[in-house]
Amino acid sequence: MSEFGTLQDRVRRKSLLNKAMSPEDCIQFFKPGQNLMWSGFTPAGYPKAVPIALADHVEANNLQGKWKFNLFIGASVGAETEDRWATLDMIDRRWPYQTGKNIAKGINEGRIRMGDKHLGHFAQDAGYGFYTKNGRYDIGIVEVSAIAEDCGLALTSSCGIVAEALHLCDKIIIEVNTGQPSFEGMHDIHMQQKPPNRAPFLITEAHTRIGTHYVPCDPDKIIAVVESKHRDKGRAFADMDDTSEAIASHIMEFFAHEIKMGRLPENLLPLQSGVGSIANAVVGGLAKGPFSNLSVYTEVLQDTMLDFFDGGNLKYASACSLSLSETPGFPRFFDNWEKYFDKIVLRPLSISNSPEPIRRLGVIAMNTPVEIDMYAHANSTLVGGTRMINGLGGSGDYLRNGYLKIMHTPSIRPSKTDPLGITCVVPKAPHIDHTEHDLDVVVTEQGLADLRGVAPKERAKLIIEKCAHPEYKAILHDYLEMATKECLAKGVGHQPQLFDRAFKMQQNLAVNGTMRIKNWDIKIDLCE
């Protein structure tokens, strides 16, 4: 028996106990080529027991590359599941966001077909039937805390796309997690309708509830109930450093200025912060700041959000996922359950990332890109324009619809071939996920550039001056002046770029291992 109860305690629809099985018993339901939907969102609330059993089966029977499935999950899940599946060549298609060295390797080697998508669109597009031939999915695997008498499912540490998935899957396997406290009561599940019958989401504050605690489920679809004691393998976060503290300091000064100018209230507006160590560290810096009575409306709650709560600065938080670290995040959360439980609402992805409440609430969006170019186009997904990292995620949902849209990044990133590092401010991004129209503010440890109402050429000067690393400022200024002169002379100078030079820094990195080019000279013969 777990200290958190038994399967019999958690399954209150007693007829379903007749379908209780071991993870290994469920292998009979799977066949190569099936379309699978899982619960889970940014290593939280994902099924573990059955996917691990399937991986064990493939490995033990030398079925690598023979048992391949198509995975559709709200966002990334734990490395012990999808990343291990990737090492065993068990994934054919993967939509729309993933995390793991092996799955990223499989995608970039062409063995795994991945599609990237704004997460706010993914759940509804799945419901529209865009991703499979018949719009259906063979099996859904969902982790829950409890099953109510009416077969309503109380989810665990995330909502993801479960609300939509249960209606799209022909068969459902339920993993009841008794290895952690029950999250029953934390969720706010609202089942949206398809157009033309869709109604507004009447969310007027971050903690507004518009639904129920449970996802409705047809008991006749459930083919197995599996007990699981596996906890989420949440991602580890880097500690705050001088860079992240400087970024947070610039943002706090900016907020204070906006309050003084009357553009923000004293308690700001609901905050959104993206995933990753930098975003986590920036929130940690804000948690130490002077602002109080704050609220959060976001996708994920990371470790430093707990600092926000503990400091008394944060009143309420709405999210799709508790994306805490395996340690110390989740243990800290469970040890202080009573402190946090009533202050958090977990919502389906289709609501947490919906443009409607984001715009109504006036969310302040803060996300981290791979790089930003001097005109404020941002690349969040593809290194060098070709190598997939994780995916777009929900950053675009917030950056297109928020009240203030902020991108924060170090001015340089570590490089194995350049001891200084490579610049995160470039003349032109080799891939663009967020256009200049979506960004209001760019921040690095060097400074903050407020781009609102600033025309492109002045915007470029501002970004270079405020945000670029000192080692790269001169070379970026030289490019801007050269491009401006040549383009204006031709009457095409609104947003000057030189196609033959725009990517010279990236090309030099690929060939010579550094972006610190000596000059902008080129030797290209385009014609014979």
Q: Is the separation of the CB atoms in 308 and 268 below 8 Å?
A: no
3-state secondary structure of 262: coil
Q: Which residues contact 170 (CB under 8 A, 6 or more apart)?
A: 136, 137, 138, 139, 221
CA-to-CA separations, 526 to 479, 500, 507, 522, in angstroms, rounded: 21, 10, 17, 12
Both structure tokens of 235 = 């991602």
Tokens representing 58 are 């493939």
Please give the positions annotated as active site.
299
Give all strands (DSSP E) within 387-444, no chain letters.
387-388, 404-408, 412-413, 422-423, 425-426, 441-444
Provide φ and ψ at 224, rounded to 5°. -160, 145
Cα end-to-end span (Å), the chain: 78
Instruction: Give the integer Cα–Cα distance in Å for 391 and 100.
Output: 11
Contact 370/430 with Cβ under 8 angstroms?
Answer: no
Which H or E element spans position 463? helix 456-467
Helix (H, G, I), strand (E, B) or coil at 319: strand
Dist. CA 175–CA 194, nearest whole Å: 28
Which helix (H) or strand (E) covers residue 124, if one does? helix 119-128
Q: Identify the residue whose tokens are 């029953």.
A: 184
Q: How far apart are CA 505 and CA 518, in angstroms?
A: 10
